[in-house]
Chain A
Amino acid sequence: MPRIAVTVDGIRYEEDVEPRLLLVHLLRDRLGKTGTPVGCDTSNCGACTVMLDGKSVKSCSVLAVQADGSDVVTVEGLSANGDMHPMQRAFHEEHALQCGYCTPGMVMAAIDLLREDPDPSEEAIRKGLEGNLCRCTGYCNIVRAVRRGAQSMGQAVTTP
């Protein structure tokens, strides 16, 4: 069984993993990082999106062994010193979540979207979030939240 080393939310873990173990199950079942949920088994919904070395990935489509040596940030690692990330705050301010199941992935995808386009138009936001499905909000408030998040994060967009 391969041994991997992975840093998750600032803590380094060494784990023996089956080659087939998905990153999301490593995070949830082994490391207790249950903030990242699973919504489908075809990587369509995006609920399990995390940052892998600074870029958003759907953690159900990454094997744990592929994350060997990587730096992973989950929604639990976004808040710093008890303060929410500006994008998390923007989701709260704009009421961009209801049941909240898609929210961690949606927030991650939004942050990554701004890394590539710090000042996205509504259309760019809608296209950019195409891989993350929400069943509660109808997306209007999510789009507004990403706009607000972009404004509060400013031009110097920081990746977590």
Chain B
Amino acid sequence: MTEELDAGLVAQQIAESGQVSEPEGKREVGKARRRKEDSRLLTGRTTWTDNIQLPGLLHVAFKRSPMAHARIAGVDVSAARDMPGVVAVFSGQDVADEQGSLPCAWPVSDDIVIPDHPPMAVSEVRYPGEAVACVVATDRYLAADALDAIDVDYEPLPPVLDMTEALTEASPKVHESGNRAFTWNFAQGDIEAAFRDAPVLIDRTYVQQRLIPTAMEPRAVTATTDGESFTLWSSTQIPHVLRVMLALTTGIPEHRLRVIAPDVGGGFGSKLQVTAEEVLCLLLTRRLGKPVKWTESRSEGNLTVHHGRDQIQHIALAAEADGRIRGLKVELLADMGAYLMLVTPGVPLLGAFMFNGIYKMDAYSFDCTGVFTTKMPTDAYRGAGRPEATYAIERVMDELAAELNLDPIEVRRRNWIRHEEFPYTTVAGLTYDSGNYEAATEKALSLFGYDKLRAEQSDRRDRGEPVQLGIGVSTYTEMCGLAPSRVLGSLSYGAGGWEHGSVRMLPTGKVEVVTGTSPHGQGHETAWSQIVADALGVPFDDIAVVHGDTAISHKGMDTYGSRSLVVGGMAVLQACEKVKEKARKLAAHMLECSPDDLEFVEGTFRVKGTGSSKTIQELALAAFAAHDLPEGVEPRLDADATFDPENFSFPHGTHLCAIEVDTETGMARIRKYVAVDDVGHVVNPLIVEGQVHGGLAQGIAQALYEEAVHDAEGNLLTTTMADYLLPSAADLPDFVTDRTETPATSNPLGVKGVGEAGTIASTPAVVNAIVDALRPHGVHDIQMPCTPERIWRAIR
């Protein structure tokens, strides 16, 4: 085999090509290709789940608990059954014999308690919005009407809202077993020695407020059956995992169940779930023999799409007098909400390995307690565990700098892993394969105009101006490319971390790529086409990418945790290599030469030193016709491949935020935001930049705007977009983004993942900037979101 077919060499070629972006270049990888996906999205020819129309389609609506915690004394659905258009009404009790518990796939510890989680409550509701009954009607308006006629007799129980109180003996219980869901801990190094007589001790408590992910597309489910087989369309990120879990949950055999994720309008982790509504729609179509559809309203979604974050972090850092870190202790309370959903308990564990950030230290301990409360369960939300960890360490690094009167950049420099020290095994046990924190930081400082802004800050302070300037830094890394299957196994996760790709040359020379990843805005159709175009030497436009249908894409672990390119893109590349190997054998047979005598250049196999050649398209046709195949070669040029990464990937970067804070009103306005991210090699710079922008918006929103708020009775007050403040175009600045490229060494593409980087990095950068602005006023911390009122109160 000649070397140009080798995946490693592809990576090397990419490495040599550097940051390619000229559109006229032959190589597709590195090019800022406009997206293939855009046309249908821009012209309204999209297939959202709510667009699915089937003959005889019935509409489902859910009666939801108005209380956080109550015993259900009775549910009377009789009046609703007589309403116009109503086909059926069921209470939780009516379907109790048929509904399985919703799954939790991540039993993190031996002491974990996984409570039974019926899709509709039977005897007790444990969070506001929990379903207690459902209506099936001929029209969505009539289904909603009938909800009012359902009479539920609730006996209120005390809510459980505060995690610390929930762990006391006196607390009311969410479940009979108590409010402790699990404990999980580990330690590395001599933590006691690190803290004994430490010259500098920083001890802080940070609160990660509860967030509502708020993908723009509300969740939707459509289910149908022909009596034997079932088809479920869902606005899900995880059609493959969902199919397995629904089979286990509903008793519908897996081979009789097809799950389709059509165009999905955003996820951010919130659609990484097996939901009550999916389970119940299957149950309803099975019972009624008719297709059913449920589409949530936004206010329903705010109540019942799993929430994110919600942790109390006690973090203590011991350091030398010069700022070098000795050790770090983290004690975490993580709010599980009322139940453990698909990966609820695993989210804080993903952070466990990242609290040490990019810094060297000798000792580290992590203790986590998962706590049940009477709130919507939490689960993965953009970054899942890593934003929380990064926030804590990056806030503490600023406190360390302030304590020692050092520049925040300097204190980081004294502690970070240097470029020449990679690969580096961290105190938390991960091996960071590559990184260059100096390069990213230098670039960011230069783009930001750091010294000039520091000078302006100093001037404003000296003059006592009402509008103060704050500068915040975040030098982050994260853990992407989830995940090596063996690592997931060691953490008790219920599935692997491999990904699948299938590449099929069609008889006409076009290429069909089937991927196990399931995009919802990330542009896989474009990026995967770029990878395949280079690998097979076929035109970008001759490649179509298919995804999100278990009947077509038979293997996959889906899209979350910035894993798609790092794992799924690699699987596609490996499938291309297999296709080329097969094509090489066929070409050698047809050209009557040894496979070793062939070179593959831009889609053509040439016999070295002669004019004889076969294009890969000619070979695809010959493999289809199969008139004369060499021994052992099966018809058609196609191949499947799975890729299981050997390690995670570790994007990193430096973000800088300048914020103007009006000390008289508390208003904070971002003046400049610079993000320099290192996501390894870049397949499509346009998509990378877009992902960074969107991530920044979400991370900044946690810092400044978003919070799920409950009242003393446990009612969610932020049920609508009028109450839960998403930033608009008017609230955010133009971002300055740039990159450094330090290739990952753990995959031949050298890619690291980008989906979560902006979110992870930006929250601490913004809050550090606000605290920096207010330090002269004696402010050392401020609770997120940093609203004008909170800032105003902090000053006083």
Q: Do A and B bind each other?
A: yes
Give chain A's interface residues, CB within 8 Å of chain B.
18, 20-21, 25, 28-29, 32-42, 44-45, 47, 74-76, 78-79, 84, 88, 91-93, 95, 97-104, 107, 122, 125-127, 129-143
Beta-carbon contact of A101 and B721 below 8 Å: no
In the bound complex, what is the Cα–Cα distance between A29 and B50 (angstroms)? Answer: 10
Beta-carbon contact of A137 and B218 below 8 Å: no
CB distance from A41 to the nearest CB of B (A): 5
In the bound complex, what is the Cα–Cα distance between A144 and B269 (angstroms)? Answer: 28
Other-chain residue from A28, A75, A98 in contact with B694 (beta carbon distance below 8 A): A98
Beta-carbon contact of A39 and B298 below 8 Å: yes
Beta-carbon contact of A135 and B42 below 8 Å: no
Within 8 A of A (CB), among B640-697: 686-687, 689-691, 693-697
Beta-carbon contact of B720 and A99 below 8 Å: no
CB distance from A38 to the nearest CB of B (A): 7
* Segment of B70-78, B124-132, B404-412, B730-738 in the binding face: B730-738
Beta-carbon contact of A138 and B696 below 8 Å: yes
* Segment of B187-195, B352-360, B519-527 in the binding face: B519-527
In the bound complex, what is the Cα–Cα distance between A134 and B322 (angstroms)? Answer: 45
Other-chain residue from B216, B522, B694, B728 in contact with A39 (beta carbon distance below 8 A): B216
In the bound complex, what is the Cα–Cα distance between A125 and B48 (angstroms)? Answer: 28
B51 within 8 A of A: yes
CB distance from A142 to the nearest CB of B (A): 7
- Residues in A neighbouring B43, C-beta threshold 8 A: 35, 75-76, 78-79, 84, 88
B45 within 8 A of A: yes
In the bound complex, what is the Cα–Cα distance between A21 and B140 (angstroms)? Answer: 11
Beta-carbon contact of B216 and A36 below 8 Å: no
- Residues in A neighbouring B732, C-beta threshold 8 A: 126, 138-139
In the bound complex, what is the Cα–Cα distance between A25 and B690 (angstroms)? Answer: 32
- Residues in B neighbouring A79, C-beta threshold 8 A: 43
B422 within 8 A of A: no
Beta-carbon contact of B266 and A92 below 8 Å: no
B613 within 8 A of A: no
- How many chain B residues touch A (CB < 8 A): the figure is 57
Additional A-B contacts beyond A45-B721, A140-B735 (18; CB < 8 A): A18-B141, A25-B140, A25-B141, A37-B46, A39-B298, A42-B720, A44-B722, A75-B43, A76-B44, A84-B39, A84-B42, A92-B35, A98-B690, A99-B266, A101-B217, A130-B729, A138-B697, A139-B732
Beta-carbon contact of B34 and A75 below 8 Å: no
Q: Which 4 A-B pairs rank lowest in CB-CB distance, beginning with the nearest?
A: A35-B44, A100-B41, A101-B265, A99-B521
- Residues in A neighbouring B53, C-beta threshold 8 A: 32
In the bound complex, what is the Cα–Cα distance between A130 and B758 (angstroms)? Answer: 22
Q: What residue in chain A is nearest B57 (Cβ atoms)?
A: A29
Give chain B's interface residues, CB within 8 Å of chain A.
34-35, 37-39, 41-46, 48, 50-51, 53, 140-141, 214-218, 263-266, 268, 295, 297-299, 520-523, 686-687, 689-691, 693-698, 720-722, 726, 728-730, 732, 734-735, 758
- Residues in B neighbouring A136, C-beta threshold 8 A: 216, 266, 521, 690, 694
- Residues in B neighbouring A98, C-beta threshold 8 A: 266, 521-523, 690-691, 694
CB distance from B118 to the nearest CB of A (A): 27
In the bound complex, what is the Cα–Cα distance between A78 and B726 (angstroms)? Answer: 28
Beta-carbon contact of A138 and B735 below 8 Å: yes
In the bound complex, what is the Cα–Cα distance between A25 and B50 (angstroms)? Answer: 11
- Residues in B neighbouring A143, C-beta threshold 8 A: 729, 734
In the bound complex, what is the Cα–Cα distance between A126 and B731 (angstroms)? Answer: 8
Beta-carbon contact of A135 and B34 below 8 Å: no
Beta-carbon contact of A97 and B694 below 8 Å: no
Q: What residue in chain A is nearest B297 (Cβ atoms)?
A: A41
In the bound complex, what is the Cα–Cα distance between A48 and B686 (angstroms)? Answer: 27
Beta-carbon contact of A141 and B34 below 8 Å: no
- Residues in B neighbouring A33, C-beta threshold 8 A: 44
CB distance from A109 to the nearest CB of B (A): 10
